[in-house]
Structures are given as C-alpha cells and as structure tokens.
Amino acid sequence: MKKLRAKILGTGRYLPEKVLTNADLEKIVDTSDEWIRTRTGIEQRRIAGENQASSDLAIEAAKMALENAKVKAEELDAIFTCTCTPDMFFPSVSCLVQAALGAKKAPAMDISAACSGFIYGLATAKSFIESGQSKKILVIGVDTLSKLTNWKDRSTCVLFGDGAGAAIISAEEGESGILSVYMRADGSEANILKVPAGGSKQPTTPEMIENNLNKIHMNGPEVYKLAVIKMVEAAKKALEIAGVNSRDLKLIIPHQANLRIIDSVAKRLDIQENATFVNVQKYGNMSSATTIIALDEAQREGRIQRGDLVELVAFGAGLTWGASVIRW
Ligand code: UT7
C-alpha cells in the first residue's frame, strides 16, 4: 500500500476588525511609536471585541479554510485547536467549533503549546493521518492574548494581538505534504513567560486580580535570547529530518513576535534573499495563530506555488519550540 502524506489542502484566517495602533498605545502607557517600531517592528495589532472569544475567531478562520480546500465540514474526521487562550477551562474551543461547523463525525480536542501551538498541531495531524486514524483534519491556531494583557505594563502590552488561522490537512498520495516536524520543550524555563494565576495553582481572588497575576508576565530579554537560539535549532533540525537544504526553501515563516528576532534567526540560516515572510508590523504577536495566518497570507499573495518548499518555525511559553518543512 502506498504511504499517504499529510497535505495542506487549504487555509483561512480571521482578524478582528478593531485596529490598535502604536499611536493609540501612546495614549494608554508611557511608550512611543518610535520605541515600539525600532525594538519590535510592530506598527499595529488587531484586538478582539468584548464579546468575541477565541472560538468566534476560530470558527470564521475554519469556514474560510474549508471553502479554500473545497471540503465540507461533514467530511472532517478530527478537529485540533491550538490555543493558550481558550474560551473557558472546558469544554474545549475545538468542541465549540465542531458544533458551529456541524462537523458531526469529528472528534475534537485542544492543544496547548503557546506560540509553538500550530507546529504541535501540524505534528499531531501528520501522525493521525500517517497512522490511518484520520483522513481530513481541521487544525486551527487561535489566540486572544488581549484578554490576558496588562494594559498598564508597557513591556508587554505593546507586543500582542488577536487572530485565528486554520488549515485543512488531508491524506493524499504524491510528493506534496508535511515532510518533517521537529518539536522540543523545556519546562525548567516555565517562569520566564507565564500567566501565574487564574488556574488550579492560584484560583481567582480579588488580591490576585489587584496584582495582575491573571495577566501575562514576561522576562523579555531572556525570552528574546532563547527564541533566537531555539528557532535556529528547530529550523535546522526540521530541514535535516526532511533531507532538504536551506537554500532550497522558497519561504521561511518564523513566529512573528519581534522583527529583530526574525532577522537574527534568518541571518543564522543559510537561506535565499527575500525568503523570510514578515507580517508582524500589521498584527504583533498572535501566539498560536501567527504561523498559520502568515502561511495563509503567503499563499494568497502568490509567494508559494505548488512544489515549493516552505518551513514554519516557532518558539513560545513552556518553553516550547519547533519547526516543520512542507512541500506545497
Ligand atoms: O512569542 C514569544 C513571546 N515573546 C517574545 O518573543 C518577546 C521576546 N522579547 C522581546 O521581543 C524584547 O525583549 C522586548 C521587545 C520585549 C523588549 O526589548 P528589549 O530590547 O529587550 O528591551 P528591554 O526589555 O531590555 O528594555 C529596554 C528599555 C528599558 O528601559 P531602561 O531600563 O533601559 O531605562 C525598558 O523599561 O526599554 C524600556 N521599555 C520601553 N520603553 C518604551 C520597555 N518597554 C517599553 C515600551 N516603551 N513599550
């Protein structure tokens, strides 16, 4: 029997309407457009509405991906949503998406790996398909980090944005598909990027809210340093597993957290000129959603054609990191 590959049949995205510019942030905290641009490359970000939860963004992205892939929701036989900002502890975002789409035969579960979420989701889909468990899988990357942002902390509130991206992954014959996935984690560095309270360790109390412990806490410079080292490691390992050369990549899509991190990673890899995709200026860091939204944009802008080699690489809280090489 021929080995079936996990192939991306179609992608979609959804960005909330509300745009928050650097000029808007200047009015909220002691910051400047100049500082944000030069230190991060970010110019604006999208913010979910008060009544918009992660599942609302995810459902829109999923519908667009289904249409792009020409697949019906009833054909899906698994749904994985990668997110660290679920609507609630349970049920999962994936179950809410499953109901909204009417994907009757799809089991549904969430994957929590912060900014590396979509890579972990791709790896799960690849394994389900290659083992014969599933044939058509919806993988979503969604986060609404604005809901966990401390708008008084200038060192974090300028960095994040909200969004959702989705991919339909199918069992197909042929050369196109996910060639490799590499993933790692290091929980000993959990403290450098976390939301300390609001979970089972420190349930919600008025004091906890007063001290913003239910919001994002980050040691920026430490995360920055490790992000560069680990993304370079992951990018090289995934290429090695796929048995392809970095010079053959048409496009590399790094996690979009900071333009300086993206440039440092690109400089350390032997890739072609103009092979790095960047959209951090428009959206900021959307955690699990960044790589899949970028892949959707790149595809629709014609920057990748059938047969091209693309690599996704990400790093995030956990710590988690990983990369995937795809033949489009
Ligand atoms: O997806 C993974 C998650 N996150 C990341 O990948 C983010 C990784 N980290 C970063 O991107 C960078 O570390 C930051 C953008 C967060 C910070 O950039 P930095 O070059 O590492 O700056 P810094 O934290 O060392 O701060 C430099 C200065 C400080 O002032 P002093 O102490 O030198 O006087 C900060 O107080 O910049 C100050 N600062 C700001 N100034 C204006 C920090 N945030 C701001 C701000 N506006 N928003």
Per-residue pLDDT tens over the stretch 239-273: 999 999 999 999 999 999 999 999 999 999 999 99
To test the pocket of ligand 1, the residue of 224, 291, 315, 321 to mutate (highest count of ligand atoms within 8 Å of its CB) is: 224
Q: What is the dihedral of CA 146, 147, 151, 157, to 10 degrees?
A: -30
To test the pocket of ligand 1, the residue of 24, 34, 155 to mutate (highest count of ligand atoms within 8 Å of its CB) is: 155
Indicate whether 301 pLDDT > 80. yes
- Regarding the beta carbon of 225 and ligand 1, being less than 6 Å apart is answered no
Indicate whether 235 pLDDT > 80. yes
Half-sphere exposure of 311 (CA within 13 A, CB side): 36
Contact 269, 232 (CB under 8 A): yes
Locate the domains of the chain by residue range: 5-174, 179-327
Q: What is the predicted pLDDT for the residue at 69?
A: 98
Alpha-carbon distance of 291 to 145, in angstroms, equals 15
Task: Compute how many other C-beta atoms are within 10 angstroms of the C-beta atom of residue 31.
Answer: 17
| Residue for token pair 């944005």 | 161
Indicate whether 2 pLDDT > 80. no
Smallest CA-to-CA distance from 75 within 106, 112, 121 is with 106
Q: What percent of the chain has pLDDT over 90?
A: 97
Residues carrying an active site annotation:
115, 255, 285
Q: What is the predicted pLDDT for the residue at 122?
A: 98
Indicate whether 98 pLDDT > 90. yes
Indicate whether 132 pLDDT > 70. yes
Contact 108, 97 (CB under 8 A): yes
**What is the CA(52)–ligand 1 centre distance, in A?**
29
Residue located nearest, by CA, to atom 3 of ligand 1: 316
- Regarding the beta carbon of 107 and ligand 1, being less than 6 Å apart is answered no
> Could you report the per-residue pLDDT of 35-54, keeping only the tens digit for each?
999 999 999 999 999 999 99
Contact 145, 287 (CB under 8 A): yes
> Could you report the per-residue pLDDT of 303-318, keeping only the tens digit for each?
999 999 999 999 999 9
Alpha-carbon distance of 132 to 143, in angstroms, equals 30
- Regarding the beta carbon of 172 and ligand 1, being less than 6 Å apart is answered no
- The structure's pTM equals 0.97
Strands 78-82 and 136-144: parallel
Q: What percent of the chain has pLDDT over 70?
A: 100
Q: What is the predicted pLDDT for the residue at 1?
A: 62
Q: What is the predicted pLDDT for the residue at 180?
A: 98
Q: Which fold is adopted by the domain 179-327?
A: Peroxisomal Thiolase; Chain A, domain 1 (3.40.47)
Smallest CA-to-CA distance from 294 within 156, 115, 158 is with 115
- Regarding the beta carbon of 40 and ligand 1, being less than 6 Å apart is answered yes
What architecture does CATH give domain 5-174? 3-Layer(aba) Sandwich (3.40)
Task: Compute how many other C-beta atoms are within 10 angstroms of the C-beta atom of residue 44.
Answer: 18
- Within 82-151, residue ranges assigned H as helices are 93-101, 117-130
- Regarding the beta carbon of 221 and ligand 1, being less than 6 Å apart is answered yes
Q: What is the predicted pLDDT for the residue at 203?
A: 87
